[in-house]
Amino acid sequence: MPFRWSINPYRGCAMGCVYCFARITHWYLDEDGVRDWTRRIYVKVNAPEVLRRELARPAWKRELVALGTATDPYQPLEGRYRITRGVLQALGEFRTPVSIVTKGSMIVRDLDVLQELARGPGCSVSFSVTTMDAALARQIEPDPPPPLQRLRAMQRLVDAGVPAGVLVAPILPGLTDAEESLEAVVRAATDHGARFLGGMLLHLGDVTRDAYFEFLEHKYPALIPEYQAVYRGKYAARDRQRRVQEVVAALKRRYLIPQGTGVRTERRNPSAEQLSLLAP
């Protein structure tokens, strides 16, 4: 991982994406990561307070903190609890750079704090967008805002001086990995001012594999033999991974999105490729 520190204000996520790799974190708590991932959500109500104590230690070196590496920090409960906002304020007070991964357009609520961070220690925001097909997105990502709404939120951040880009992740074989599908996302990302872009093929670890195959059985049973062939283990076959990376790289060249670099790396923000490792 391109960072040593991460914070997840919530455990579990009401957005319910079928491919979510963090489902296994429920299993660590003896919870059902397939059925209860969206229904039993742990809320770390004192996270900002604990974080301030940790950041105040003389040994803290203000290294990059990744926010939302396992669960979305702008999932619906954030509207009520505002923990992510409190965490960002604490990071700003202690001049600590942050990178955020989200699908939540609610992030624009915190534009003031993000601007402060961007002007100060550094801040970058990656929006996870897997497809521009709103109907397909509704199937694979039942509860996040539609893709276009995420991109409009990204544009508001970019226009306000907050570095933001897109993670085309995860890319789903047979559903979103066709060149036309990937190009639609890259084109829309460019149209909305993306400052960087990364992509990553789906991986299917424990628990996620069960949830994902359950989804395929219900919606796309004809794809199951292909998935069984491509996913003999957690990761897709190498030739499949290579093909997708080549297509994404070619699209970035065609749409003039810088290769490999995110923005303001001098402030220790990770690159788009590094960020793509984080996309849940």
How far, in Å, CA of 241 to CA of 152, rounded?
Answer: 29
| 3-class state of residue 84 by DSSP | helix
Nearer Cβ to ligand SF4, position 21 or 116? 21
Site for ligand SF4 in 1-60 (CB under 6 A): 13, 15-17, 20, 22
Question: Between residues 22 and 117, which has the closer beta carbon with respect to ligand SF4?
Answer: 22
User: Closest by alpha carbon to 21, among 214, 224, 204?
Assistant: 204
By CB under 6 A, name the one of 11, 26, 103, 209 that touches ligand SF4: 103
Give CA–CA dist 3/70, Å, rounded. Answer: 14
The whole-angstrom separation of Cα 77 and Cα 13 is 9
CB of 165 to ligand SF4, least distance (A): 17
Which candidate, 130, 111, 107, 127, places its Cα nearest to that of 119?
111
- 25 vs 147: CA distance, rounded Å: 26
Residue 260 beta carbon to ligand SF4: minimum distance, rounded to whole angstroms: 24
Shorter beta-carbon distance to ligand SF4: residue 15 or 91: 15
Yes or no: say if 208 and 19 are a contact pair by the CB < 8 Å rule.
yes
Contact flag: residue 71 with ligand SF4 (CB under 6 A)? yes
**Rule CB under 6 A: is residue 197 a binding residue for ligand SF4?**
no
- Quick check: 78 binds ligand SF4 (CB under 6 A)? no
The residue ranges that bind ligand SF4 (CB under 6 A) are: 13, 15-17, 20, 22, 71-72, 75, 103, 144, 280
